[in-house]
Structure 1
Amino acid sequence: MSQTAAEETADVFGPDSMLRSLVNEARWGLAVTRATVLEAAHPQIGAALIGNSTFVAHPWRRLRNTLVSTQRILDPDQRVRTREAARLNRLHARISGTDPQGRRYDATDAEARAWVVATLFESAVTMYRLSGESLDGPALERLYGEFRMVLAVIEGDSAHLPATLREFWPYFDDMIDRRLENTEAVRVILYRLLADVPAPPLLRDHPAVWAAGRAVAGPVAAAITIASLPESFCRRLALPDLPGVRTLMHGAYLAIGCATRLLPDGWTRVGSFVSLLDPGHAGDAGPWESVRRKAGQAAAMIRLITPAPDEAGHVTRSADRFFAEVLDQTGDGHLTWPDLAAMAREIATRLDLDEKDEERLYDAYAAWWRELQTNLDADGDGRVTRQEYAASAAILPSAGLVKVADLLFDVTDVNDDETIDAHEYQTLFRSAFRRDLTDRGAGGYSRSAFVRQFLSFMSGQQHSTAYDTLLS
């Protein structure tokens, strides 16, 4: 990006940026959810999501990482934006393949990346409108300009989005009419993800509480999302139009809009909600802290009157359960390279690795994947099934896994003192490991202790709250 363009970006994403303000509001989640459905209908994006993404098995982790990435892209500091854009481009460069129809997809496809930004802009405008707010012409132009600048930061230019707002709307309608499809990813989001979303970290130990709420909230969320989508899109994909749902959708958006305008600012910030749902997320739940405590107390009360679960699984896992909860990152029932790549991606994101260390981490995981293929892929189809893993996991050589563990220690030990201290552990595991680290005293973790624990977890021999938070 030229110096002039960089100066323009710094000005656009300054203190008065509409987009920076918007993405810090909790209601931004409505726009993102809606936009994700529109994105998934693009054949390139839909195929990449199904083949490589962890959004089904790990939606809360994906939400947290998206939030962090968005904040970096909109940071007033050009160096932060440039570093994050480079990280995203490296990530996307590793995602490519062939869809079930034999068509190639590539996460660096410029048209697809422009469509992601387009859906976010159109969904933001729709969110404002349905929430009872009206943006005038200059405000719309300004917001559109900021979204185009986001694409310029990531892509290097914004040429694949129309130059003006007047040209944008025909482009958007044409994409819906001519380019989008009823992909598997759309169906998964609407009918599986929203209905079966796993509990957020706060409620992970209270499955009965989460299941009871999700049974009602999941279908309602899916119906509201469908009702908010463009009518032409719903017709094209034959999405259901249930009686009364549009009224419900308008009521939900208006209620959230009123809450945003009337409640104190701290109550409606996205960081507060993320901290509420995920105590391990960096940040302060602020006014929601008391709500979180009450929710924990209520869940504890329900657990007292419900049968206690089998605690054996909290110490060790069967090979089959470990496969499902840890190894199968994409949730497709098989172990393939995208599952291990997702682990590397999550660790690289947590530690904000530079290109050299990131490449070393991916190489280590690739070596482990080759070992898994050699020893477990009995039928040679390029993937490992649960049955294949369960049958051979106990005798699996671990040279590749040791390489991953050793490299993970290196990139976590930022100050190269051959010890993982409390701050370095917290960077990798958020707050999930504070208690365990405290128990070890001020000395932290040596290389041998770190590697031993990682191998014990990744072989399914030992439960670890910290690694569960990171990978399962």
Structure 2
Amino acid sequence: MFGPGSQFHRLFNDPRWALGIVRATVLEAAHPQVGAALTDNSTFVAHPWRRLRNTLVSLQRMFGADDHVRQREAARLNRLHERLSGTDAQNRPYDAMDPQVRAWVVATLFESAVTMYRLSGQPLKQSAMEQLYAEFQAFLAALGVADGHLPPTLKEFWQYYDHTVETELENTEALRIILYKLFDHLPAPPLLSGLPTVWAAGRALAGPVIGTVTVASLPEPFRRRAGLPEVPGAQTLMQSAYVAAGLARHLPEGWIETEALTDLLYLSPDSDDPRAATLAALHGRMKRAGALFRLVTPFPVQPEPAAEPAAAPERQRSAEEFFDAVLDQTGDGHLDWPDLAAMARELSTRLDLDEPEETRLYNAYAEWWKELQSALDTDGDGRVSKEEYAAAVPSLAGPALIRVAEVLFDATDKNGDRHIDADEYRTLFRTAFHRTLTGTDETYSRSAFVKDFLSFMSGRRHSTAYDPLLAQA
């Protein structure tokens, strides 16, 4: 069911799977409970590339050959989803641990994989389709969801799928955000973060195409009921996109491995990765291309980031910029508990924490939220607006934030020697010492870590090391 011989393993590195994942995400978001959980808690709007990377890593762990890794990842996912519950805008409850909801998420992945093959003109054989379905059933079982929430046979699955599409899916806010906001305002991945003009030009062309292809691939009964637009030529465009993606499978082996491509998207020119020098040269050429775009196209002018002196890698940023980039993790324009929970979730994911370290980090962030709410929520609505934050110009380095820094240090310091060594540092920051710490070549002390973390979080300063933790898209 798992490992290199599985149907999913072949699917994972198929370029068509990118289109399938987007389609599955839209179908998940159309479920009222999933849509509400995404709207309230997810970072997919403000940090989509980070969310994508974490999802791909999780799928690799769940479908890999190592059963121990799979069990640890299943336990981590269950702890994550146990923390996601509430009510939607219509006061309907949602719970990310609801087994029927979890079954629907798995169902969208399977059905989108089948549809992916069909739309690209290479439908799966019945035996392969049954094997893939069995693998997704095993995936759901590994998460602890009992048998019966996905139909036992493939024939029964299609009846269940059609019934859910026709009776339960809605035109949710999360679905509208994905289709009409996310693609049009998608932030650049780290690879292209220094090339705003080039990125804006590419996004202006690709965003509408991805949205149109995704809508055209959705089940027709749902498109009709949700009032989704029928764009002339959309079906032809959709099939062309899937066929073109399928042709990419014939590129030389290793060119389209999902893990390698994801790592490349997260590569920045100042990285210690050996490929960074080539990337820096490519960035220079792309900046010149960006200048040409500004001359010959009507795209709005995108400000190029100011060059920072090598001796001064940090610069002050405004309260509003800090609020948008760091504090408002969910991108809804307010600071509340889901934003701080998202910080704890991202750091726990990077460090691959088990219990009780994960809960200690969440609890530290919960105490910080209480401190922030008490100091900044002047109108008593239970959340902090950008205006409330900017007007107060607070010093955030209170006892609760200091506690967050200390707990994060302890979680990073795996061997407990009260210093963060090179390997531990790379696990948290995904880069090496010499790129981010002047004069440090062996360890990072507890006091220095706490001081730098507080300086970043309360001083609102750009930091080469700390920005990628919480501000990176």
Aligned to 1:268: 256
**Matches of 2:389 and 2:268 in 1, distance apart?**
31
Deviations for 1:285-319, whole angstroms, at most 9, x for unmatched residues? Answer: 99x99995674232232467777555699611111
Aligned to 2:287: 300
> Do the aligned residues in 2 keep the contact of 1:13 with 1:76 (CA within 8 Å)?
yes
Deviations for 1:38-68, whole angstroms, at most 9, x for unmatched residues? Answer: 0001000000000000000000000100011
Distance 1:95 1:223, change over 3 A: same
Aligned to 2:8: 19
> Do the aligned residues in 2 keep the contact of 1:110 with 1:155 (CA within 8 Å)?
no
Deviates more, 1:223-232 or 1:293-302: 293-302
| 1:15 positional shift | 2.8
Gaps of 5+ in 1: 1-11
Deviates more, 1:22-31 or 1:312-321: 312-321
Deviations for 1:413-433, whole angstroms, at most 9, x for unmatched residues? Answer: 111111111111110111276
| 1:132 positional shift | 2.0
**Matches of 1:87 and 1:114 in 2, distance apart?**
18
Aligned to 2:375: 375
> Do the aligned residues in 2 keep the contact of 1:418 with 1:447 (CA within 8 Å)?
yes
Deviates more, 1:154-163 or 1:216-225: 154-163
For 2:233, which of 233, 236, 244 is the aligned residue?
Answer: 244
> Do the aligned residues in 1 keep the contact of 2:376 with 2:389 (CA within 8 Å)?
yes
Letter of the structure 1 residue corresponding to residue 155 of structure 2:
R
Aligned to 2:408: 408
> Do the aligned residues in 1 keep the contact of 2:15 with 2:245 (CA within 8 Å)?
no
For 2:69, which of 69, 80, 87 is the aligned residue?
Answer: 80
Distance 1:291 1:186, change over 3 A: farther
**Matches of 1:310 and 1:42 in 2, distance apart?**
43
Task: Look up the SS of the partner of 1:189 in the other structure.
Answer: helix
Task: Look up the SS of the partner of 1:195 in the other structure.
Answer: coil
**Matches of 1:201 and 1:397 in 2, distance apart?**
28
> Do the aligned residues in 1 keep the contact of 2:419 with 2:445 (CA within 8 Å)?
yes
Deviates more, 1:55-64 or 1:441-450: 441-450
For normalisation by structure 2, the TM-score amounts to: 0.92
For 1:278, which of 250, 261, 266 is the aligned residue?
Answer: 266
Deviates more, 1:19-28 or 1:222-231: 19-28
> Do the aligned residues in 2 keep the contact of 1:421 with 1:445 (CA within 8 Å)?
yes
| 1:385 positional shift | 0.5
Equivalent residues in 2 for 1:35-50, closer than 5 Å: 35-50=24-39
| 1:252 positional shift | 1.0
Deviates more, 1:73-82 or 1:62-71: 73-82
Distance 1:331 1:115, change over 3 A: same
**Matches of 2:79 and 2:352 in 1, distance apart?**
12
Aligned to 1:344: 344
Aligned to 1:155: 144
**Matches of 1:355 and 1:337 in 2, distance apart?**
21
**Matches of 1:411 and 1:113 in 2, distance apart?**
30
> Do the aligned residues in 2 keep the contact of 1:110 with 1:160 (CA within 8 Å)?
yes
Distance 1:221 1:460, change over 3 A: farther
**Matches of 1:59 and 1:171 in 2, distance apart?**
30
Deviations for 1:220-260, whole angstroms, at most 9, x for unmatched residues? Answer: 11011111111112112111111112111111110111221
Distance 1:280 1:412, change over 3 A: farther
Deviates more, 1:310-319 or 1:349-358: 310-319
**Matches of 1:293 and 1:185 in 2, distance apart?**
37
| 1:374 positional shift | 0.7
Distance 1:246 1:289, change over 3 A: farther
Aligned to 2:299: none
> Do the aligned residues in 1 keep the contact of 2:272 with 2:431 (CA within 8 Å)?
no
**Matches of 2:467 and 2:355 in 1, distance apart?**
26
Aligned to 2:334: 334
> Do the aligned residues in 2 keep the contact of 1:422 with 1:434 (CA within 8 Å)?
no
**Matches of 1:364 and 1:374 in 2, distance apart?**
16
Letter of the structure 2 residue corresponding to residue 264 of structure 1:
P
> Do the aligned residues in 2 keep the contact of 1:35 with 1:119 (CA within 8 Å)?
yes
**1:258 has 2:257 as partner:** no
Aligned to 2:386: 386
Equivalent residues in 2 for 1:2-151, closer than 5 Å: 12-151=1-140
Aligned to 1:212: 201
**Matches of 1:375 and 1:292 in 2, distance apart?**
44
| 1:75 positional shift | 1.8
**Matches of 1:182 and 1:460 in 2, distance apart?**
41
Equivalent residues in 2 for 1:191-230, closer than 5 Å: 191-230=180-219
| 1:129 positional shift | 1.0
Letter of the structure 2 residue corresponding to residue 113 of structure 1:
R
State the Cα RMSD in Å: 2.4
| 1:270 positional shift | 1.1
**1:455 has 2:457 as partner:** no
Deviations for 1:306-350, whole angstroms, at most 9, x for unmatched residues? Answer: 775556996111111100110000000000000000000000000
Task: Look up the SS of the partner of 2:181 in the other structure.
Answer: helix
Letter of the structure 1 residue corresponding to residue 286 of structure 2:
A
**1:443 has 2:442 as partner:** yes
| 1:156 positional shift | 3.8
**1:315 has 2:322 as partner:** no
Deviations for 1:373-414, whole angstroms, at most 9, x for unmatched residues? Answer: 111111111100111111223344511100000111111011
> Do the aligned residues in 1 keep the contact of 2:436 with 2:464 (CA within 8 Å)?
no
Distance 1:290 1:430, change over 3 A: closer
Task: Look up the SS of the partner of 1:409 in the other structure.
Answer: helix
Distance 1:280 1:203, change over 3 A: closer
**Matches of 1:342 and 1:84 in 2, distance apart?**
18
| 1:278 positional shift | 1.3
Task: Look up the SS of the partner of 1:268 in the other structure.
Answer: coil
Letter of the structure 2 residue corresponding to residue 15 of structure 1:
P
Alignment identity in percent?
59
For normalisation by structure 1, the TM-score amounts to: 0.92
Distance 1:396 1:284, change over 3 A: closer
Letter of the structure 2 residue corresponding to residue 272 of structure 1:
A
| 1:454 positional shift | 0.4
Gaps of 5+ in 2: 295-302
**Matches of 1:247 and 1:308 in 2, distance apart?**
37
**Matches of 2:147 and 2:12 in 1, distance apart?**
20
